[in-house]
């Protein structure tokens, strides 16, 4: 299996090099050259299997010869052993034809753990075999950062630097990143937005002296391994609702477009998915683009769903690559236009995008009202991100097709908003009960590439 860049100019790589290198050297994102197919019988055979077995069957064709069958199965087993629910990604029924996929039973209480725990295992295995080490730099609006730190803390072969927007993540999210004591963990509070963090990260990848000098690696959804691991729960949930003999739709609270793009990959592999619905908060560039064709950046407005406070949605580039018939030159041109403020998608491309994706936008008041309603009438305490998904799904769902909404984080990560809407302050799990008593350690950093690179180089040299 080879991976190619969405901008068409970087060398094709195998799975392991794709995973370890992050952004392609032409600035694009890696995607598989071909999408492995699952027949109806392959999908039917997943009925009743443990999550780990489904994960193995779904991901194995993408991994090629990077790991032997035995090693890959073992890495999957280790990745999910620490989850707090036997089903790993349990489905609960919310109402008629509407199901919630709980993706928050991992160690840091958000869906990011599904991919990050596995990536942590795969990095460790590959780096040990190569006798190599890397510097991971990640950008986070709150959840990727804590999941990455949890997956890589204490590993000899890795230093992990996380850029988060100062003052724009919840206190639980911040403390999850600033309280780990391991020397290889560096939490950096950047003066700016998540978009600034992600832009500086991509700048670092595009500065080849820095990139090669520190052996830069990425664990944002820039990294194909992140998207791949998220494909699995589309299969596990659809199969438990009757796939391949029944269509299923998904609504996905969306920011960087990685999670919903994983759903698109599942569909391309043969999973009978009817609609993939993008649910955004007031930072709604994706909803605007999918309804008007204009992908025009706006300033980021802080919200009660901070993990989705994103206006430059990294993985949308992967969706555009397919919608433009895999024309890397066309995508590179759009990305140049984006630097100047935005672009407009052609009519033909809009048609292709609308074949797969619907969208909806939810205001702050509507989010709070949905948390209240779900608590009072659906028996669920939702985090604000999941509430946005449920609200859009309720508006858009077709009674003849089961709808699955992805619950992307545990309500206890956002206790203020949840308490305001429901009157209940959700408690953290026992193992995190002392989170607010632990000492914090972070460095305030400016939104300045040269200064960030110097800090990172100095830290790994010391």
Ligand X SMILES: Cc1ncc(COP(=O)(O)O)c(C=O)c1O
Catalytic residue among 9, 112, 202, 391: 112
Instruction: Compute the distance between CA of residue 38 and CA of residue 135 in angstroms, rounded to an integer.
Output: 36
Closest contact distance (angstroms) between CB of 71 and ligand LJ64HWYM is 25
From 314, 349, 367, 386, residue interacting with ligand LJ64HWYM (rule: CB under 6 A): 314
Site string for ligand LJ64HWYM, 122-151 (x = CB under 6 A): ------------------xxxxxx------
Residue 405 binding target from ligand LJ64HWYM, ligand X, none, CB below 5 to 8 Å by type: none
In degrees rounded to 5, what are phi and psi of residue 176? Answer: -60, -30
Instruction: Compute the distance between CA of residue 391 and CA of residue 374 in angstroms, rounded to an integer.
Output: 10
Residue 306 binding target from ligand LJ64HWYM, ligand X, none, CB below 5 to 8 Å by type: none
Residue 220 binding target from ligand LJ64HWYM, ligand X, none, CB below 5 to 8 Å by type: ligand LJ64HWYM
Nearest to ligand X of 66, 262 (CB atom)? 262
Long-range Cβ pairs for the range 264-268 (8 Å, 24+):
264/319, 264/322, 264/356, 264/357, 265/35, 265/227, 265/228, 265/231, 266/58, 266/231, 266/234, 266/235, 266/238, 267/356, 268/35
Closest contact distance (angstroms) between CB of 142 and ligand X is 6
Reduced DSSP (H G I as helix, E B as strand, rest coil) percent helix, strand, coil of the chain, to 5: 50, 15, 35
Residue 176 binding target from ligand X, ligand LJ64HWYM, none, CB below 5 to 8 Å by type: none
DSSP state letters, 387-453: HHHHHHHHHH--TTS-EEEEE-B-GGGSHHHHHHHHS--PPPPGGGTTGGGSPP--EEE-S-HHHHH
Nearest to ligand X of 92, 181 (CB atom)? 92
Residues 6+ apart with CB under 8 A from 315: 29, 221, 227, 256, 257, 258, 261
Question: How many residues interact with ligand LJ64HWYM (rule CB under 6 A)?
Answer: 13
Nearest to ligand LJ64HWYM of 146, 179 (CB atom)? 146
Contacting ligand LJ64HWYM within 227-266 (CB under 6 A): 255-256, 258
Closest contact distance (angstroms) between CB of 234 and ligand LJ64HWYM is 16
Closest contact distance (angstroms) between CB of 325 and ligand LJ64HWYM is 25
- Give the binding site for ligand X (CB under 6 A): 110, 143, 221, 253-259, 307-308, 385, 408-409
Q: Does 317 bind ligand LJ64HWYM (CB under 6 A)?
A: no
Helix (H) or strand (E) holding 58: helix 51-63
Which residues on neighbouring strands pair with residue 273, listed in sequence order? Answer: 248
Between the alpha carbon of residue 434 and those of residues 327, 356, 427, 430, 437, the distances in Å are: 51, 44, 11, 8, 5
Annotation marks residue 267 as catalytic:
no
Closest contact distance (angstroms) between CB of 235 and ligand X is 17
Closest contact distance (angstroms) between CB of 226 and ligand LJ64HWYM is 6
Nearest to ligand LJ64HWYM of 170, 179 (CB atom)? 170
Are 282 and 361 in contact, with CB atoms under 8 Å apart?
Answer: yes
Nearest to ligand LJ64HWYM of 216, 378 (CB atom)? 216
Are 189 and 166 in contact, with CB atoms under 8 Å apart?
Answer: yes
Nearest to ligand X of 164, 205 (CB atom)? 164
* Of 182, 138, 202, 134, nearest in space to 164 by CA: 138
Residue 254 binding target from ligand X, ligand LJ64HWYM, none, CB below 5 to 8 Å by type: ligand X
**Tokens (6 digits) for 247:** 């269509």
Annotated catalytic residues are 112
Instruction: Report the interface residues with ligand LJ64HWYM, using CB under 6 A.
Output: 140-145, 220-221, 255-256, 258, 307, 314
């Amino acid at each position: 299996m080879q991976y190619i860049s969405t901008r068409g100019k970087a060398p094709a790589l195998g799975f392991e090099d794709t995973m370890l290198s992050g952004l392609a050297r032409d600035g694009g994102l890696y995607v598989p050259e071909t999408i492995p197919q699952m027949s109806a019988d392959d999908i039917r055979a997943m009925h009743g299997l443990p999550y780990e077995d489904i994960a193995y069957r779904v991901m194995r064709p993408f991994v090629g010869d990077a790991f032997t069958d035995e090693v890959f199965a073992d890495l999957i087993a280790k990745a999910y052993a620490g989850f707090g629910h036997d089903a790993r990604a349990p489905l609960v029924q919310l109402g008629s034809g509407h199901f919630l996929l709980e993706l928050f039973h991992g160690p840091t209480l958000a869906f990011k753990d599904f991919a990050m725990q596995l990536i942590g295992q795969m990095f460790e295995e590959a780096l040990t075999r190569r006798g190599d080490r890397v510097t991971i730099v990640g950008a986070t609006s709150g959840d990727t950062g804590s999941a990455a730190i949890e997956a890589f803390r204490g590993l000899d072969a890795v230093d992990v630097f996380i850029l988060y927007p100062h003052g724009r993540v919840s206190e639980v999210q911040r403390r999850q990143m600033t309280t780990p004591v391991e020397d290889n963990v560096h939490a950096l509070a950047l003066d700016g937005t998540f978009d600034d963090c992600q832009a500086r990260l991509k700048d670092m990848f595009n500065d080849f002296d820095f990139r090669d000098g520190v052996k830069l690696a990425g664990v944002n959804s820039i990294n194909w391994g992140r998207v791949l691991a998220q494909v699995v729960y589309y299969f596990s949930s659809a199969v438990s609702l009757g796939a391949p003999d029944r269509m299923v739709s998904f609504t996905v609270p969306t920011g960087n477009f990685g999670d919903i793009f994983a759903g698109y990959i599942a569909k391309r592999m043969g999973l009978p998915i009817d609609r993939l619905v993008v649910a955004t908060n007031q930072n709604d560039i994706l909803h605007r683009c999918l309804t008007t064709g204009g992908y025009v950046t706006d300033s980021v407005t802080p919200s009660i769903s901070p993990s989705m406070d994103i206006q430059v949605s990294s993985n949308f580039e992967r969706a555009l690559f397919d919608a433009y018939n895999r024309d890397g030159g066309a995508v590179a041109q759009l990305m140049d236009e984006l630097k100047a403020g935005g672009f407009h998608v052609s009519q033909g491309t809009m048609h292709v995008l609308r074949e797969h994706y619907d969208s909806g936008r939810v205001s702050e008041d509507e989010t709070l009202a949905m948390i209240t309603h779900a608590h009072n009438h659906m028996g669920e305490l939702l985090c604000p991100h999941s509430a946005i998904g449920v609200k859009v799904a309720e508006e858009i769902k077709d009674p003849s097709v089961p709808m699955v909404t992805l619950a992307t984080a545990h309500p206890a990560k956002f206790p203020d908003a949840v308490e305001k809407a429901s009157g209940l302050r959700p408690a953290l799990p026992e193992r995190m009960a002392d989170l607010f008593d632990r000492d914090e350690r972070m460095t305030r950093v400016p939104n300045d590439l040269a200064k960030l690179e110097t800090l990172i180089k100095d830290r790994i040299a010391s």
